[in-house]
Structures are given as C-alpha cells and as structure tokens.
C-alpha cells in the first residue's frame, strides 16, 4: 500500500478504521525526513494491511501539536487506537520492519486489560490515540 497524507480533516476516519497505523511526522525542509521517506515507502509495500501515513508538520501544525511532536522526523505506531511507539529519528529499513513485527505480536487484549487496571489504579503504560 502506498503511503497516504494524514490531515486534520481525514485523521478521525483513517485512525478509527485502521487496525495498525504507522505515522511519519515530517517536513519538506528536514534532511533526515527526506532520507527516511524512501524507507518508509518501501516498507509500506511489505505490509499491505497496515496504514502508512505521513503528516506534513508544516501544513498540519495543529495535528502535529495534538501529538506533542517536538522534533522531526518522528515515527509513531498506533494499533487499535493505542500509541505503542513514538520516537524522533529515522530508522533503517531492518529496524523499521522489526518494530512493525514487534507491534503485530503484542497481545492487544492483555494491553487493554492492563491499561484499564492502570487507569483505575496507577499510571498507564500505553496511551490511546
């Protein structure tokens, strides 16, 4: 699947329907962002059931701000509306594939139960998107 442009207008629709979504927060003036773009696109072809989305932080400042993006590129992995990973910096292809495979192995039912328990008691280990 090709990458899609994520905007404030289409975010809710895409996020609510995607089981797994990788979001690349980037800007055209950012060298590391431009270097990471071909890797992100290439890996998207290996995982056709995953939504690979890009947020242009210049055009979508409010959307980037809602995720507290402080530096770019920032990669975020969202599964079933849980943010599983959010880190600034570009990843090499092998690390990106490994990250995706780890995200796919997470027991989401267990994560939901642990999050519910944490929200009712202490702090949550994962946040909802």
Q: Looking at 21, 22, 23, 33, which residue is catalytic?
A: 33
In the set 6, 30, 75, 99, the catalytic residue is 30
User: CA torsion, points 20, 55, 1, 13, in degrees to nearest 10?
Assistant: 60
User: 5 exposed, middle or buried (CB, 10 Å; 0-12, 13-18, 19+)?
Assistant: exposed
Q: Is 32 an active-site residue?
A: no
Q: Are the beta carbons of 55 and 26 closer than 8 angstroms?
A: yes
Asked about 33 being catalytic, the answer comes back as yes
Q: Which residues does the annotation mark as catalytic?
A: 30, 33
């Amino acid at each position: 699947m090709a990458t899609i442009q994520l905007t404030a207008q289409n975010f809710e629709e895409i996020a609510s329907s995607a089981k797994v979504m990788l979001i690349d927060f980037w800007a055209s003036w950012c060298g590391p962002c431009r270097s990471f773009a071909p890797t992100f696109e290439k890996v998207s072809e290996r995982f056709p059931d995953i939504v690979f989305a890009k947020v242009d932080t210049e055009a979508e400042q409010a959307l980037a701000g809602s995720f507290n993006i402080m530096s770019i590129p920032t990669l975020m992995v969202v599964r079933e509306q849980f943010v599983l990973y959010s880190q600034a910096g570009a990843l090499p292809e092998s690390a990106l594939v490994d990250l995706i495979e780890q995200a796919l192995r997470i027991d989401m039912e267990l994560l939901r139960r642990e999050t519910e328990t944490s929200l009712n008691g202490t702090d949550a280990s994962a946040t909802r998107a």
